[in-house]
Structure 1
Amino acid sequence: MDLLFLLDFLRNLAANNHKAWMDEHRADYHRARGVFSSLVQQLLNETQRFEPALLGLTVPETMFRINKNDRFQQSQEPYKRRMGASLTQGGRHAPRPGYFIAVEPGETWIGAGKWHPEPAALARIRQEIHYNGPAFREIRTAAGFQRHFPDGPQGDRLQRPPKGYDKADPDLEWLKLKDFVVTQSFSDAEVLRPDFVARVTTAFQAAQPFVRFLDAAMQAPE
């Protein structure tokens, strides 16, 4: 698995982000995508050992396209500068929490949780945190979780308490969140280490109670 080739390809793509260059280097793109696919397969194999909800999930169901989505395009560059995948029950577009990886030179990161849950799901997550604050705090303060995700859940948040919640609620800062995602960054040197897959899956396993808490809340009946 030549992760150095993958990083080099993405670095060159960032410097030449236009269709003519991609057409000329299409073979390199397919080789780089193959490397990333192998990485995701290894991560999926290891993660399925402790996350049975992902059994049956295939690599093609997890990987995002490198082409930008025009609806969200903020520049004229037609391609993303990273390759990414979402290890989520039901595949990358499923409305459930999961585990993520994005490889990008100098900015590789992994994550777990749920970004932009739908309003009804967000309401259920907030309700679960409110009802089961001690359990949520225990997850956030667990040693393994703190080691990999010391900042806890991050994302967009409200300026004021969400409707129906008191400003004195002990979990108010978490109730204000509109995203529930934890992340960990890796340098290029760390990506190239032989234990990179092991380090990522260890972090995913540390995040599993957080992912399961969110999933149970989101799947709870109205």
Structure 2
Amino acid sequence: MQFEKSAFKFLQDLQKNNNRDWFTEYKPVFVNIQSKIKEVFLEMQENLEMHDEIEKMKIYRIYRDVRFSKDKTPYNPRFAVSFSRLGKHLRGGYFLQIKPGETLLGGGFWQPEKEDLQRIRKEIEQDASEFREILQDKEYLKYFGGQFGGDELKSAPRGFDKEHKDIDLLRKKGFVAIRNFTDAEVLDSNFLSELDVTFKALRPFFNLFSDVLTTNLNGESLV
């Protein structure tokens, strides 16, 4: 199973005709494509469950909430899905966006809760060596370029030394790994396998953060 050219064509057309009249006319086309996309996402979940424990799958709606946005276009021309890991001990989640020219895979902690972010920062402040090891991991370097994506502060977070040797990590507001794909890669018959291999490369990252978020600074379990 794979993503079809018809799905890409629909998204490209929607980008050019992002209005309700056009979408209403082509709603039957969308419904048919959406059904096929869901089948692909379900296969992704099956692949993930071969090597991880997944709690739930969330398929994102194509309809945009424009109430508080300057961009009033009613639709988001993409197909997107996320998978949450199961249980208190398994932190982190997987994400995929299919969008012409902007397809990406992501994983990690995009907007962690305040308490979780503080816990991660305290761990980095005390000893960031294991975080650095993740960034230098062979598979992580191959697929994610040896960096954590996500927003960051311009200066040190409150209560942390702005001269700390790991200030680049302490400034992070989230910790995510991102891999971009070309349109040709998305339409390749091997794409789902490539996604799964990439998701597997996140495991050391998830293992470290799960350990940090389920223990205190002394390494004692909190769950």
Deviation at residue 214 of structure 1 after TM alignment: 2.8
The residue number in structure 2 matching 1:174 is: 169
Amino acid at match of 1:87: F
Aligned partners of 2:3 and 2:40 also within 8 Å: no
Match of 1:145 among 140, 143, 147: 140
| Alignment partners' CA distance in 1, 2:119 and 2:65 | 29
For 1:93, the equivalent position in structure 2 comes to none
Q: Does 1:46 align with 2:54?
A: no
Note if 1:102 corresponds to 2:101. no
> Where does residue 37 of structure 2 map in the other structure?
36
* Structure of greater Rg: 2
* Deviation sequence 1:175-218 (CA, Å, 0-9, x none): 10012111111111010111101111111110122123333434
Pick from 128, 132, 140 the counterpart of residue 133 of structure 1: 128
Q: C-alpha separation between the residues in 1 aligned to 2:199 and 2:213? A: 20
State the Cα deviation string for residues 53-72 of structure 1 (Å, max 9, x = none). Answer: x1x53xxx421111112355
Structure 1 residues 2 and 120: CA distance shift in structure 2, 3 A = closer
Q: Map 1:14-93; keep pairs closer than 5 Å.
A: 14-52=15-53, 54=54, 57=56, 61-71=57-67, 73-89=69-85
In the alignment, the residues of structure 1 paired with residue 161 and residue 3 of structure 2 have an alpha-carbon distance, to the nearest angstrom, of 52
Q: What's the CA shift for 1:163?
A: 2.4
Greater shift in the superposed pair: 186-195 or 161-170: 161-170
Quote the residue 1:10 is aligned against. Answer: 11
Shift of 1:88: 1.2
Q: 1:122–1:218: 8 Å Cα contact kept in structure 2?
A: no
Structure 2 length-normalised TM: 0.87
AA at the equivalent of 2:191: F
CA spacing shift, 1:191–1:157, aligned 2, 3 Å = same
- Are the aligned partners of 1:155 and 1:179 in contact in 2 as well (CA < 8 Å)? yes
Q: Which one-letter code corresponds to 1:81 in the other structure?
A: P
In the TM superposition, what whole-angstrom CA distance separates every residue of 1:69-110 from its partner, at most 9, and x where no partner exists?
Answer: 2355331210101111111136xxxxx521100000111110
| SS in structure 2 of the partner of residue 49 of structure 1 | coil
| CA gap 1:155/1:3 in 2 versus in 1, 3 angstroms | same
TM-score with structure 1 setting the length: 0.87
Deviates more, 1:128-137 or 1:18-27: 128-137
Shift of 1:219: 4.4
Tell me what 1:185 maps to.
Answer: 180
Amino acid corresponding to residue 80 of structure 2 in structure 1 = G
Q: Which residue of 2 aligns with 1:210?
A: 205
2:15 partner letter = A
Inter-CA distance 23–37: structure 2 relative to 1 (3 Å threshold): same
1:40 corresponds to which letter in structure 2? F
Identity %: 29
Residue-pair matches, total: 212
Runs of 5+ in structure 1 lacking a partner?
A: 91-95
Structure 2 SS opposite 1:70: coil
